[in-house]
Amino acid sequence: MTVSEKGIEFIKSWEAFRPVPYLDSAGLATWGYGHKAIPGEVYPDHVDEITALSILQHDLMDPQRTISMLVKVTIDQGKFDALTSFTMNVGMGNFRSSTLLKFLNGGSLEQAASEFLRWCHAGGFESAGLLARRQAERAMFLTGVYQMHV
């Protein structure tokens, strides 16, 4: 399974396009649609939206593979897209060790969905923006409704 076009649009709406690098709430250099600098990567002075979309599609490859390998139950597109957004944002290692994944693989969808809301902190503090994103991911996971950020 791969992330849908609606899933990509959802992620883009929550990441927001940034043409120049900035430091995110965790202090990581970030640009485009939420691309985090990797060690040794040269920061661009500027990226256009087409390049940023290409980078985003590349950045989504590892989360999608991770979800496909770790999720042992059948899920629909909305669940896959919600998990892709979540995993891209929190990281594959965090998803791998999450209670969300344990509940999901155990067949407890409601408990898995409630776990999204635990992942709303940045820099040790609750972030209203992350909480809103997690609520939207949870809704997508449960209902297949994509709540774009405006």
* Catalytic sites, residue numbers: 15
3-class secondary-structure state, position 18: strand
The sign one gets for the Cα dihedral 4, 129, 35, 95 is negative
Categorise residue 103: left if φ over 0, alpha if ψ from -120 to 50, beta otherwise.
Answer: alpha
21 touches 37 (CB < 8 A): yes
Q: Are 122 and 25 in contact (CB under 8 A)?
A: yes
**Which one, of 147, 144, 138, 142, lies nearest residue 9 by Cα?**
147
Residue 38, strand partner residues: none
